[in-house]
Amino acid sequence: MPEKVLLTSSEIGRALARIAHEIVERNKGAEEVVLVGMRTRGAPLARRIAHSIESFEGISIPVGTLDIGLYRDDILPSAPKRPDQSHTSIPTDITDKPVILVDDVLYTGRSIRAAMDALMDLGRPGSIQLAVLIDRGHRELPIRPDYVGKNMPSARDEEIQVRLNEIDGKDEVVIANLQGTVICGQPRRRHGEASE
């Protein structure tokens, strides 16, 4: 089936603004909050949420980027598990602080589990909260987001793609049916599936 747009640029903006307000309300302010975006699209989403919080709270929020490559459970362990320092950058100590983990699409929950493991190797947050732009269901682990831009139940043979200006040149969320699509003789991985 052709792609169907689930969220336009303006709808993404409104969803992120709402998440920003919810983060401040839940944490009774944002003075101690640290936002950590998962590579690749979670990082620009985290920066946008931080910018939104700054616009109405007047304070700058630290924003980090987390690479979970070594923590994924679909890769055989071949090296000690430490966050990839070339792609992980947390600008402040996260110990005892509320850390908001930000990702684009929540699917099975496996990438979030890996991200929590990676964060715990970097410090001991006071809490870890999860913000996602899209929750598509099909959880395999008991993980639930604290902040959701849009709940979008989907079939396993559908792909949800988040496209962002910073990476893709435009803002939108689309869904497409991949039933029967193969690449190099293997079923095509859906967005986020490799890490989840």
Is the Cβ–Cβ distance between 37 and 43 less than 8 Å? yes
Sheet containing 98-106: give its strands across.
Answer: 63-66, 34-38, 98-106, 127-135, 147-151
pTM, entire model: 0.86
The 10s digit of each residue's pLDDT in 76-119 is 555 555 554 558 999 999 999 999 999 999 999 999 999 999 99
Q: What is the mean pLDDT of residues 133-145?
A: 96
pLDDT at 78: 55
pLDDT at 2: 80
User: For 9-154, which CATH class?
Assistant: alpha beta
Per-residue burial over 167-189, b if 16 or more Cβ lie within 10 Å, else e, is eeeebbbbbbebeeeeeeeeeee
pLDDT at 75: 60
Q: What is the mean pLDDT of residues 13-32?
A: 98
**Length of the chain counted residue by residue:** 196
Q: What are phi and psi of 4, to 5 degrees?
A: -120, 130
CA quadruple 176, 116, 16, 166: dihedral sign: negative
The 10s digit of each residue's pLDDT in 27-61 is 999 999 999 999 999 999 999 999 999 999 999 99
Instruction: Calculate Rg over the CA atoms of the chain.
Output: 17
Domain spans of the chain, in order of start: 9-154
Query: Tokens at residue 162, please?
Result: 């988040």
Alpha carbon distance, N-terminus to C-terminus of the chain: 24
Which residues are 149's β-sheet partners? none
DSSP assignment of 41-96, as one string? THHHHHHHHHHHHHHHH--PPPEEEE--GGG-TTS---S-----TTT-B--S--TT
Query: Tokens at residue 153, please?
Result: 């139940």
